[in-house]
């Protein structure tokens, strides 16, 4: 009989953000931050990681505001130090935050929020201080998915992406 090369019921991919690797795009609002595009090798081996450069001040940040259905959501972002002195940073999902300090190793920072209300909700990458010094670090692969578990990263450009049915290679015996 037919055989799948994976469990088709377990495959789901979703990223509700746009321009998930292009933080210099206008889809990402910026306050006291500039983005230098494609300045480092990303976790997937491509030259697509951007440099987040904060001038300092009160909570320098970039953000997107997707419109969501009510439910649980998980936001994740890959981060790495650019070799400069690092200070506390944070990612936020509708006000729920996860602090981090970039290190020399690519790390996926994850925050989950249960009970998100329907409507426009803020996704923020920020310096975690109301009086922050200037800082910079590399970012790549922003992802927002429904549910309380982070999914494998899926890149997006002009539109969010959701895969609700399994796709893959079906292997059948010769007929």
DSSP letters spanning 91-132 = EEETTEEEEE---SS-EEEEEEEEEEPSEE--EEEEES-TTB
pTM across the whole model: 0.85
Alpha carbons 142 and 161: distance in angstroms, whole number: 13
pLDDT at res. 167: 57
Inter-residue contact 85 to 96 (CB < 8 Å): no
* Strand locations in 117-174 (E): 119-120, 123-127, 135-146, 161-163, 170-171
pLDDT at res. 148: 92
**What are the angstrom distances between the C-alpha of 134 and each of 62, 74, 139?**
15, 28, 16
Tokens of 4: 């799948």
Q: What size, in residues, is the chain?
A: 175
Averaged pLDDT for residues 37-48: 97
pLDDT at res. 3: 47
Averaged pLDDT for residues 12-41: 95
pLDDT at res. 170: 60
pLDDT > 90? residue 173:
no
Q: What is the pLDDT of residues 109-158, one digit of tens each?
A: 999 999 999 999 999 999 887 777 888 999 999 999 999 999 999 999 99
pLDDT > 80? residue 33:
yes
Inter-residue contact 118 to 51 (CB < 8 Å): no
Quick check: helix, strand or coil at residue 151?
coil
Alpha carbons 2 and 91: distance in angstroms, whole number: 44
Q: Which residue has the tokens 């893959």?
A: 168
């Amino acid at each position: 009989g037919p055989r799948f090369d994976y469990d088709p019921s377990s495959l789901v991919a979703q990223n509700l953000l746009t321009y998930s690797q292009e933080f210099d795009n206008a889809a990402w609002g910026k306050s006291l931050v500039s983005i230098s595009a494609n300045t480092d090798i990303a976790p997937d081996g491509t030259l697509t990681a951007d440099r987040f450069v904060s001038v300092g001040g009160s909570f320098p940040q970039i953000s997107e505001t997707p419109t969501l259905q009510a439910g649980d959501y998980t936001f994740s972002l890959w981060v790495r130090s650019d070799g400069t002195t690092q200070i506390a940073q944070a990612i936020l999902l509708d006000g729920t935050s996860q602090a981090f300090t970039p290190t020399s190793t690519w790390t996926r920072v994850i925050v989950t929020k249960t009970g998100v209300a329907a409507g426009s909700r803020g996704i923020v990458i920020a310096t975690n201080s109301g009086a922050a010094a200037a800082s910079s670090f590399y970012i790549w692969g922003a992802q927002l998915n429904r549910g309380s578990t982070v999914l494998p990263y899926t890149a997006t450009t002009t539109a969010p992406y959701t895969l609700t049915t399994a796709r893959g290679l079906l292997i059948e015996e010769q007929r």
